[in-house]
Structure formats: structure tokens, C-alpha cells
A and B are shown apart, each in its own frame.
Chain A
Amino acid sequence: MQSQSQPQTQSRKLMLTIAGILLLLWTILTIVPLYWMLVGSLQDSAASASFRPAMIPEALSLAPYERFFAKTAAWRWLFNSLLVSSVLTVTNVFFASLAGYAFAKLKFPGSNAIFWILLSTMMIPAQVTLIPLYILMVNTLQLQDTYTAIILPTAVSVGNIFLMKQYMSSLPTSLIHAARIDACGEFRIFWRVILPLAKPGLAVLAIFTFVASWNEFFWPFLITSSTDMRTIQVGLASFVFAESTDFGAMMAGATIGALPMMILFFSLQRYFLQGITIGAVKG
């Protein structure tokens, strides 16, 4: 027995090493574009339009960033993105947890039907609703170039309600009963009992909503026409069309668009990696 198990552990070690090397190679492949962006943004490309950065830079320079901020309203765009994403995070967390709680714990006539109707709208592609939504916002409500127009349609998403319903279902119902016996109002129960219990779920929801809102492109792109109302993603896209010859500034802009979310990812990694499995299918 012993003589048999030794080559087995050895071959297992070999397999693990090969697996590790394969993984490392693919990981490098995945990271190379981001590395290329970063080194591209840190080498001064002003000399000529055909300049392309070296993979291992000889000298670092912040000149591309200076040019990107000088040529664009990037500070304003960053502010817009921060404002829009923050408001969307608050509204989504509040309204999705409120509705998720109602669907999970309060029985009321029509709750199942309403929930399934809401859920089925997730199948409808955005392209179907965009045109009437655009006409409604721009022609009827005259809300073009306003924060309201950017925020309102996604103030609470059905996907988030679904996640919160799943999450709230796992909370103990007995606590709600106890609170009712203490004659707490329904909203007080939600605010004082449910929300504190649901904190881990709310944190995950907040993080993913913030990142998704920050990265959103299409709707803010459609509904804004003035330079000052663009989000950073929309602004970056417009910059790429206008200044496609300034390689360094383009990479600087791309970095600016992604860096805040990467910093967020590294500081809240645990929430990101665990949060993905909340509400997903059980395997």
C-alpha cells in the first residue's frame, strides 16, 4: 500500500504544478490589457502621433494625465458619475430591500402575481424600451441633460428586488412576530429589525449597484447632450472619438474611468467575491 501511495502523491504534485502554471499564464493574459493601459498612460506620447509605449517604460511621466484633464471636463464628469452612482446606490438599496422584504415576508393579495410580472420584465432587452423612454424624457418631460433623467429609470432595478427577496427569505420570521407583539408599526419593524439583520446583503447590493452605475454607458450617453452633464464613461467615449491620435491621453482617460472601481475592488474584495453567489442558482 505504502509503495503505491508515494508515486500517487508525486504525480498529484506534478499535476498541481502544471495546473498552477496554466492558471498563471491565463492570469497574465487577462491582466496584460490593464497593464498595457497603465504603462501607456504613464509614458509621454506627445512627441508624435505614431508613438507607442514600451512594455517596460524607461521613464514615467504624468503628462498624459495632465493633457487628458486639460482637454476635457473630466473633473466634472467624475463628479457627475460619483453623484449619479451614489444616488442610485441609495435608492436601489432602500427600495429594493423594502420591496424584497414585502415580497418575502408580508403576505398580501396579488403578491406572487406582481412579483412574477416584475421579474418577467428582466427578459425585455433595453433596446425595446429605450426609444419611447427617450421620447418621454426629452420631448414630453423636457428632462434632457438633467440628473433626474439619468437616475430615474434605474432608481430601483428588478434584479435587485429579486436578490433582496431571496436574501430576506432567509431571515427569521419569529423576530418579526415578536416586534409585532410589541406593537411596532410595519415600517418601524423594517427599519429597526429587518435592515440591521440584512446588513451583509445590503452591503453587497450597494457595492454591485455602485460599480454597475459607475460603468453604465448607454442611457447616460443617450440622455445627455451637453459636455457638462456627461458621466465619466460617456465623456471618455466622446474623447476617444475626438482625440484618437493622442495615445497617452486616451490611456490616461481609460485608467481614470476604471481606477476608482479597481481601488474599491481591492479594498472590499471579500464582499465582491462572496457577493456574486448571493441569489444565483444553487449548484
Chain B
Amino acid sequence: MQTTASPKRTSSGSGRFLREYGWAYLFILAPVLLFLVFTLYPVASAFVMSFQQYQVMGSTWIGLDNYKHMIGDDVFWKSIRNTVIFTIATVPVNILITFVLAYLIFQMKNKAQTFFKATLYLPAVASGVTISVVWLAIFDPTDSGLLNRFLGLLGIDPVIWLGQSGTALFSLILMNWLGSHGAGIILYLASMGGVPKSLYEAADIDHASGWTKFARITWPLLKPTTLYLLVTGIITSFQVFISVYLMTQGGPNFATTTIAYLIYQTAFQFYEFGLASAQSFVLALLIVIVSVLQFKAFSSDVEY
């Protein structure tokens, strides 16, 4: 597509190759080195480690014992279950909220659009730690906690949100629903602005109903954005950690232990590096499956 660098010289061999391409390789040297040392080596090392009992002065090979132990561990299955429940409960609902908000904002005038975009985006610049600390206070189990105060207005007794296994995971889900949807809203708005007006005008001539226009024009044309939000949303929620670590420490009774939190505990509280590596490959596998499914969905979309 583009022509290559100055092909004036006639000298042959490696000298010419370097002169022509040397700069390009130099330009990508830093990321490639970082990739080798901080990604490739760790992945390979984690893979080997998952078959070992880790010790600082030389690990011992134990074959599939880590994987066997993992599969026989109830907490591991509970963490998978919690992670899947959290993901299914948050991602589709968040996309729905994001879409409805974007659709409503799209009807507004320019100034109102900017106001809503900016205000709804604002919580996204606050760190996960800050947001978790604030929600820890909102879920305060006493009757002076913010959420319990609100329930009190409706005549409902205070709830021990994070302290009992029946409501702890739901509390984390609720917090996620009420988080920032700003980035998704902005992506949807950009896509909505890109839908050609002529399509709607043609539909008007055919006396299409509002619903038909939505189902036949708006929704299909926004599908790539929806898929993008779906996949990034799933990958993010598979790795949910900060809120669990700060608000519940996985409890009570493992009700909020997610797979990412379990890996952290196994590795850095119990120092079972081998077992933790085995667990992390399960998480990686889940993410790869989701990513591959995404590519499938995208390619079927092209045919449509």
C-alpha cells in the first residue's frame, strides 16, 4: 500500500536490509522488549508453574495436581458461579441502561446533550478505590446508612447489605448498575449520529411505525457498538476485583468470592503460586472463549 523507504542504494545483503528497515524495527523495539519480558515470559512461566509446587529455592513438578485440586475445590466452583452470575446480571442490564440513556440524550438539543454526556461520564474518572469506599458507606448496615435511610422513608427495616450472604452479591451488582455508563453512552451517540437520515425518511414515506424504524434501522445499525460494549463489559466483569477486595473480602461465606479475587487470595494470602496459576488459566480460557465468540458474531453480522 505504501512505498518503502529510499531504495536508492544498490549495496546488497544485511547492510541494505538494515538501512531500509532498521528504523522501523528500532521504532517498535521498546514495546517488543516489554512484550517479551513482561508478557511472553510471565505467561510461559505461569503455565509451567501451574504444574509445580512453587518454592523460592526450586519448585517441584507435581503434574496435574494443581488442576485436580482446583476441580475438587468447592470454593473454586463457587467463585466461577459468582463471577458468571455477576456478569450475567450486570452486563446486559448495563447495556440496556446505556442504550436507553443514549437514545434519550440523542433527542435533546446540543447543549443539553453535552450536559448529560459530561455529568453521566463524571463518575468514570473517579478511581475504583474511591467508588468502593463511597459505596461501602452507602451500604452501611445501620439505619443511618444512605441506602437504609432511603428504605426507612418507605418504611422498610435496615438491611445488612454486605454482611449477609443473601444480599452481598446483589449489593455489588446494584452498585455496578448505578455506576458510570458515560463511555458507552458516548459511543452509542457517535453511532446514532452516523445513521443516515435518508433511511428514516424512506421509512416515513412507507408509513413505518416508530417501533419498526427502531427494530429495522436503529438497532441493526448500532449492533457493532452493542457487541463492542458486550465483549469489553464481559471481559471487565470477569476480572472484577477492587470492589470485592475493599467491600466484602469475598465474604460472607464466599458469597462474593469472584475468580479474580480467589486467584489473588490463593497467590498472595496463601502463597500457593502453582494453584493460583492453574486458576488464572481457567480465567484466561473463559476470556478467550468470549473473545472468539465475539469474532464469530462479528463475521455473521457482516453477512447480514
Within 8 A of A (CB), among B1-57: 1-6, 21, 23-25, 27-28, 30-32, 34-35, 37-39, 41-43, 45-46, 49, 56
Q: Is the interface of B mostly helix, strand, loop or mixed?
A: helix
Contact (Cβ within 8 A) A128 B284? yes
A257 lies within 8 A of B246 (CB): no
Q: Which residues of A contact B28 (CB under 8 A)?
A: 98-99, 102-103, 114
B224 at the interface (CB under 8 A from A): yes
Q: Which residues of B contact A123 (CB under 8 A)?
A: 284, 287-288, 291
Q: Shortest CB–CB separation between residue A278 and chain B, in angstroms?
A: 10
**Residues on the B chain within 8 Å of A272, using CB:** 121, 125
Does A131 lie within 8 Å of B43, measured CB to CB? no
- A-contacting residues, B143-173, CB 8 Å: 144-146
Collect the chain A residues with CB atoms within 8 Å of residue B24's CB. Answer: 102, 106-108, 111, 186
Interface centre among A30, A139, A214 (most CB of B within 10 A): A30
Given A114-B28, A124-B284, 13 more pairs with CB closer than 8 A: A23-B104, A36-B134, A40-B137, A107-B4, A123-B291, A131-B267, A237-B245, A247-B137, A250-B136, A254-B134, A258-B126, A273-B117, A283-B222
Residue ranges of B at the interface with A (Cβ–Cβ < 8 Å): 1-6, 21, 23-25, 27-28, 30-32, 34-35, 37-39, 41-43, 45-46, 49, 56, 97, 101, 104-105, 107-108, 112, 114, 116-123, 125-131, 133-138, 140, 142, 144-146, 178-180, 183, 186-188, 190-192, 194-195, 221-222, 224-225, 227-228, 235, 238-239, 241-242, 245-246, 260, 263-264, 267-268, 273, 276-277, 280-281, 283-284, 287-288, 291
**Chain B contacts of A96 at CB under 8 A?**
31
| Interface of A, helix, strand, loop or mixed by DSSP | helix
Spot the interface stretch: A57-65, A152-160, A197-205: A152-160
List the 8 shortest-distance A-B pairs measured between CB atoms, nearest first: A283-B191, A215-B127, A186-B23, A129-B42, A52-B144, A132-B42, A132-B45, A102-B27
A-chain residues with CB within 8 Å of residue B32 when the two chains form the complex: 114, 118
Whole-angstrom distance between the Cβ of A2 and the nearest chain B Cβ? 18
Report whether B268 and A158 are in contact in the complex, using a CB–CB cutoff of 8 Å. no
Closest to A26 in B: B101
Nearest-CB distance from A180 to chain B (Å)? Answer: 6
